[in-house]
Amino acid sequence: MTDEPLVIEGTVEAGVLRIVLNRPGMRNAQSLALLYALDDAFASAMADPAVRVVVLAGAGPHFSAGHDLRGTLDTHAGADFRSAAAGDAVHGDDGWSYMAREEEVYLGLCRKWRDLPKPTIAAVQGRCIAGGLMLAWACDLIVAAEDALFVDPVVMMGVSGVEWFLHPWELGARKAKEMLFTGDAIGAREALERGMVNHVVPAAELAAFTDALARKIALRPPRALAATKKAVNETLDIQGQRSATEFAFRMHHLTHYDNMQRLGTLGDPGGMPVRKT
């Protein structure tokens, strides 16, 4: 056990707040506690008028290894979930309850963070795996270190991609299929070419470059930034992004259910032996 905070909030400088995922020993794998701590940090930043732009970073050599796969279905069922809308549905031990929990923690939080009124920038280094993609994709801009690798390996686990399924929107349909079918990583330069990231910089310059970009954005009128962000996001939703991610989330849980029925686990042990994705 450690008393270190799961998420570190820096001091506000020139309108910029840096929020850091702080599980470097676990490659910033996302426990339920970490995700709620991040949600609290985002909420605090939105409520602080001194904050105009938020930078999301990961401590250590990697941005995030994705969901913490050490949890079991039983401990997940007994966890403390927040959503009043989900009600008692999250506290069962069946497929419906598991889907309700993931809808709150993964799909719900990512959508919430994507629509925050203030601009957000992900600073990504090292591995950005599965659930790590979801955190980066929830941000408005992504700055990647040259060593950044983006990968979603969950098809080999018998599941149809991570819960917040933006692969076709971020990469285009054919590259998204290749990424998912093979589980191969996409490097920072290719991600830049495909428009998934905004900039690629040497790892040693990642923090300074991202902060400089954030400070530049922070000089713009906050209401204009919020309106612009909303307009772009609404354009994506009119094009079908929200409906598409909702459908993909249902497919994700169909594959979970199928694995449970055939194999007794949420993932296929023939790929990677996991209890959850």
**pLDDT at position 83, please?**
61
Q: Is the pLDDT of residue 89 over 80?
A: no
- Tell me how far apart the alpha carbons of residues 90 and 102 are, in angstroms, rounded to a whole number: 9
Which amino acid is it at 225?
Answer: L
8 Å CB contact between 114 and 138: yes
Task: Report pLDDT digits (tens) over 184-201.
Answer: 999 999 999 999 999 999
3-class SS at 9? Answer: strand
**pLDDT at position 158, please?**
93
**pLDDT at position 132, please?**
98
Average pLDDT, the chain: 90
- The domain segmentation of the chain, as residue ranges, is 7-207+214-263
**pLDDT at position 73, please?**
40
Task: Report pLDDT digits (tens) over 90-129.
Answer: 666 677 777 888 888 899 999 999 999 999 999 999 999 9
Q: Higher-confidence residue: 132 or 89?
A: 132
Task: Report pLDDT digits (tens) over 198-234.
Answer: 999 999 999 999 999 999 999 999 999 999 999 999 9
8 Å CB contact between 30 and 71: no
- Which stretch, 23-37, 95-109, 261-275, has highest mean pLDDT? 23-37
- The vertex-165 CA angle with 133 and 186, nearest 5°, equals 45
Prediction pTM value? 0.91
Q: Is the pLDDT of residue 246 over 70?
A: yes
CATH number assigned to the domain with residue range 7-207+214-263, chosen from the 4 options 3.30.390.50, 3.90.226.10, 3.40.1360.10, 3.30.390.10? 3.90.226.10
Q: What is the DSSP letter of 91?
A: G
Radius of gyration of the chain (CA): 18
- The vertex-140 CA angle with 143 and 82, nearest 5°, equals 115
Task: Report pLDDT digits (tens) over 247-262.
Answer: 999 999 999 889 888 9
**pLDDT at position 234, please?**
98
